[in-house]
Amino acid sequence: METKKLKASERKNFNKSETRRIRNEGIVPGVFYSKNNQLIHIAVADTAINPFVFTSKTHLISLELEGHDEYECIIKDVQFHPVTDKVIHFDLLGLTKGEKIKLEIPVQLVGSPAGVKEGGVIQHIMHKVEVECLPRHIPEHIIVDISGLNLNDSIHISDLKYDDIEFTDPQDSLIVQVTHAKIKEEVAPVAEAVGEEAAEPEVISKGKQEEKEEEK
């Protein structure tokens, strides 16, 4: 896996007003922590952290922090603005050589299933899977070949075979399947009332509200 450098500065003042000020200037606050180091409050330019967040790959990060040694780490958590989806906070987890780590890896589907030619559709259920491995074995993606899937076939966690990687999600977790395409139900015509006015059908609207965690 490719290792990329990330330059950061240490933050000494991290009250709410200061945090708001640096965000308005295009700076994103974050923290770095590891088993052998105390938590360090850091800040990076949004243009520097965004390529590590808005990607389908997993990257190892070499954190360059003024006044400190370089730290090998990964992004452990990211918080987004509920309206703009901008990165507003992130956590970096330092890696320890020789110790395994748990993290989520993006799933990449490859191939064209035979079941699609039979009229089926691909349902990609899990876009990330959790793995446990040594830092040097962290993959950029988990490649899942779906070319052999026929109609009603599926792939579960138990079907994944990777050397040096343990998949920690439940073994029966569904990753992808090829199913029959849904057929829209036809609406039966409403019979016209004869001799008197037909009662207007009651229209029931159903809304969905998506909840997002507010910025702290």
For residue 122, give the nearest of 88, 102, 145, 89 by alpha carbon. Answer: 145
pLDDT the model gives residue 190: 52
Does residue 44 surpass a pLDDT of 50?
yes
DSSP lists the bridge partners of residue 134 as: none
pLDDT the model gives residue 162: 92
- Taking the CA atoms of residue 13, residue 34, residue 6 and residue 84 in that order, the dihedral angle to the nearest 10 degrees is -60
Q: For residues 95 and 61, what is the distance between their CA atoms, to the nearest angstrom? A: 10
Q: What contacts 89, CB < 8 A, 6 or more positions away?
A: 28, 29, 30, 78, 79
Report the pLDDT averaged over residues 97-120.
Answer: 92
> pTM score, two decimals?
0.70
pLDDT the model gives residue 125: 97
Q: What contacts 20, CB < 8 A, 6 or more positions away?
A: none
pLDDT the model gives residue 78: 95
Q: Name all domains of the chain by residue range, CATH numbers in brackets.
A: 3-96 (2.40.240.10), 102-180 (2.170.120.20)
For residue 73, give the nearest of 91, 89, 60 by alpha carbon. Answer: 60
Q: For residues 100 and 102, what is the distance between their CA atoms, to the nearest angstrom? A: 7
Percent of the chain exceeding pLDDT 70 equals 84
Q: What contacts 105, CB < 8 A, 6 or more positions away?
A: 58, 128, 129, 130, 131, 138, 139, 140, 141, 142
DSSP 35: T
Report the pLDDT averaged over residues 143-164.
Answer: 95
pLDDT the model gives residue 67: 81
Residue tagged 């075979």 (tokens):
161
Q: For residues 139 and 59, what is the distance between their CA atoms, to the nearest angstrom? A: 9
Q: What are phi and psi of 129, to 5 degrees?
A: -130, 150
Average pLDDT for the chain: 85
